[in-house]
Structure 1
Amino acid sequence: MKKLYITFFSLLAICIGVGIFYFTVYRQAKMEFPSDVTMETAWGKPYSFSEMEPKVRLLEFVYTNCPDICPNTTFQMKQLKERLEKDGLFGKKVEFLTITIDPKRDTSEVMQAYAKMFEVESDEEGWIFLRGNEDDTKKVADAFNFQYRDPGNGMLIHTTLTYFLDENNRVIDTFGMGEKGFDKEKVYKAILEEVKE
């Protein structure tokens, strides 16, 4: 009987270990932009995921009517951007991407206004605000296992993760969103470490 318990718990530990590996390492390594998707920037220019320059990227999914987590994360990214600009890295080696998950409401004009709230005045600054049609938006979100849905009141329920990608556009880390979830210092250190390699 004792051997049966040992065997059972050993198998259980192995299954748990495999599950943890799959959800934290393997699945994350498989996340990447769908190369057949082209979105539109807030300023109306096409942005193709198949033609991205090699840069380290920080990706967030937002919707502009979000009352707290999205704008808080974007604000912290703005502060991070300012720090990376002082280091001479932002726009050259580091790019931020903000993709709306509510393209029906978040028109180009709305996305432009949202970008300007965070002192981004054009696509040329290293921070690209993107929108696509609903199918392409879902395709990109699904590629990163980012879940969202509209319960019908315009207040979307969504995953609270940001994604850190290497120069090959592969996810190397994820960070939370919002005041408590997005650790600016941790993200900054991760970016510096990746850029130095």
Structure 2
Amino acid sequence: MTAAQAAHAGARSEIREIPEGYRLDTPRAEDGSAIWRIARDSKVLDLNSSYSYLLWCRDFAATSVVARDAAGEPAAFLTGYLRPDRPDTLVVWQIAVDAAHRGRGLAAALLDGLTTRAVDELGVRHVETTITPDNTASKALFTSFAERHSVPVAHEVLFDAALFPEQGHEPEVLHLIGPFAAPPGTGR
């Protein structure tokens, strides 16, 4: 954690540190196949094409993050982007941890690390994500994230199940988290 991140984190309680043996990093195109594999093996995420993960690592690297293990390989990832019509809003697209690395707090560390960077460097004030009603792990992750940062979270159905072309898709519930305080001295 940089001095600026530490100063900003001091305003919030219990910011997750990256677990020992891992480091947060910006994704690179060569990480795309590992990220695709982690998403596929999660058995929970909607799997995008392998090509889309390569593009994500190129075009949205500034709003995404990977956790690398001691060998430098991706162990977890979070993909995100800034909403074009609300550039102060970070949308978390997908987050997943490789099965061999679960239970260490990596998902929370990714979420805290990227959000801290996005608030400090990009002026982000809100985080949004969608979660299906049956995804209890993601609901718990984002609820605890909001609690750690002492920010409100609101919920509303963004896409009703009837909008999806395949049968059985649950509605996507939008989780609106924030606002986050601007870093001290920025005037934002």
TM-score (normalizing by structure 2): 0.30
Higher percent of residues as strand: 2
TM-score (normalizing by structure 1): 0.30
Higher RCO (C-alpha 8 Å, min separation 6):
1
